[in-house]
Amino acid sequence: MSEHTHPTFLEAVRREWWIPVAITVLAGGIALALSSASPAALYEGRAIVIIDAPTVAKFPDLPKPDDMIRELASNAFSSEVASRAVVPSDTVAAGLKSSTRADPQSQLIITFRSTDKALASRVATTAAGYAAERVSVIGGKEIWDLQRRVTETQRAMKEVLRIQSEAGRNASSSFELLAAGTEWEMRMRLYEDTLALRTLRNAYYYNGNLTTSDVSPVHRRGATIAGALIFGFVLGLVIAVFREAILSRPMKDAS
């Protein structure tokens, strides 16, 4: 009986070259046929909420980006967005996604996919606007305390101006100086608190930024076909080597 040796990889490919070629062509043809079909259009609405990272880090009561992602995934959030966008809650819950970008996290990205382009846009922008609103509720303590201080300062300043008006020209110079100093101090405090309040309320800010793009598979035809060709070629090589190994096995003679 003659000795049989297993063929090397190159020898197997040289003899069975037609196998990887055939499978590669077949895989590419199937991918081309599938990607050239006319599937239902799929649109993705993408809205970006800007995160003021330094402010969020400075004020502990403000929700962190991860807290907002959990908030967007809740049933209560989906229900409210569905109500505002006039869409079934299940539809919103199934298609609404959120993530953050950059380090520190400076963008809250909200996406929604639908076969209806207008619906994809409407739900994404509605969710982004509502997310910015929810920040004032979730992190309300610091915002409410600051708002109360602003209101009290405004009320006190009106009282000072009323007293100044009633005193009129008969007021002494020391009274006028004291009243002027008090008014200036209140105005400065009001300015600082109003600025801080605006900063807190805009810690998560949505300015209407929205993009809607077609993400259906037909628009990824090139990548799909390239992947299929690579997969088919590798599979063909494996089959060719395996076939050569089978054919090179010694046949046992019947006794």
Residue 96 has pLDDT above 90, yes or no: yes
% of residues, the chain, pLDDT over 70: 89
DSSP character for 43? Answer: E
Structure-token pair, residue 195: 């600025």
Inter-CA distances, 206 with 11, 55, 78, 188, 213, Å: 63, 16, 18, 29, 19
Please report, as a single letter, which amino acid is at residue 140.
Answer: G
* pLDDT at position 40: 67
Residue 216 has pLDDT above 80, yes or no: no
**pTM (predicted TM-score):** 0.60
Averaged pLDDT for residues 224-248: 82
Averaged pLDDT for residues 146-161: 84
What would be the CATH architecture of the domain defined by 43-139+204-216? Answer: 2-Layer Sandwich (3.30)
Averaged pLDDT for residues 28-57: 83
- 184-215 pLDDT, tens digit per residue, is 888 888 888 788 777 777 889 999 999 999 88
CA pair distance 43, 215, nearest whole angstrom: 6
Specify the higher pLDDT residue, 249 or 162.
162
Confidence band for 2, pLDDT divided at 50, 70 and 90: very low
* pLDDT at position 255: 42
The DSSP secondary structure of 94-151, one letter per residue, reads HHEEEEEETTTT-EEEEEEEESSHHHHHHHHHHHHHHHHHHHHHHTHHHHHHHHHHHH
Beta strands in 137-226 (DSSP E): 204-205, 210-214
Specify the higher pLDDT residue, 221 or 180.
180
Give me the torsion for CA of 175, 178, 179, 184, rounded to 10°: 160
Averaged pLDDT for residues 142-158: 83
Tell me which H or E stretch contains 31. helix 18-35
Averaged pLDDT for residues 2-22: 72
Domain regions of the chain by residue span: 9-38+218-247, 43-139+204-216, 142-201
Averaged pLDDT for residues 79-94: 94
3-state SS class at 3: coil
Confidence band for 68, pLDDT divided at 50, 70 and 90: very high
